[in-house]
Amino acid sequence: MILTLLVFLIILSLLVLIHEAGHYFVAKYFGIKVEEFGFGFPPKAFSIKRGETVYSINWLPIGGFVKLYGEDEAGGGSVKLRPSERVKDEKRAFYARPVWQRAAVVLAGVIMNAVLAIVIFYVYLGISGFKAELPLLGDHKFFGVEQSKKATV
């Protein structure tokens, strides 16, 4: 039971880390300031600041987040800020970026999860010698495929 829970948390942590890394690297690529890269949910257990980004490990290990500069100020782009409310260094703010760049940052997490699935699939195939055994449920004959019928239980 404990081992199952531990394996589950490790796999979930890997998925979350890859997902959040997708957001992080695409935001950095477009020049959006990343304020914090958090692994787990607060309260913070440990944090370190490298450059302009705080990297934190938090106590609740079931998630993660990337906090982008200017992500909250404009409410997802629906609020127009008055000049007195503008954030400094606005050109690096999330809300000030073109829609296609914001969409790329948001979609990067899902794309990274898909890439991870593909990598895991091909690693598994490589380990198994690029052979897969599937039981035949009938007498289907496939052209160009060497097949044998095995007993299924």
Q: What is the 3-state secondary structure (H, E, C) of 34-94?
A: EEEEEEEEEEEEEEEEECCEEEEEEEEEEEEEEEECCCCCCCCCCCCCCHHHCCCCHHHCH
Report whether pLDDT(132) > 90: no
Give 150's pLDDT tier (boundaries 50, 70, 90). low
Residue 139 pLDDT > 90: no
Distance CA 16, CA 25 (A): 14
Q: What is the pLDDT of residues 56-84, one digit of tens each?
A: 999 988 899 999 998 876 555 555 555 55
pLDDT of residue 78: 53
pLDDT category at 119 given cuts 50, 70, 90 is very high
Pick the catalytic residue: 20, 35, 52, 90? 20
> What global pTM score does this model have?
0.75
pLDDT: is 16 or 87 the higher one? Answer: 16
Tell me if residue 20 is catalytic.
yes
What integer pLDDT is reported at residue 83 of this predicted model? 56
- The two structure tokens encoding residue 63: 């998630």
pLDDT tens per residue across span 93-115:
998 999 999 999 999 999 999 99
Contacts of 149 (CB under 8 A, 6+ apart): 136, 139
Mean of all residue pLDDT scores within the chain: 85
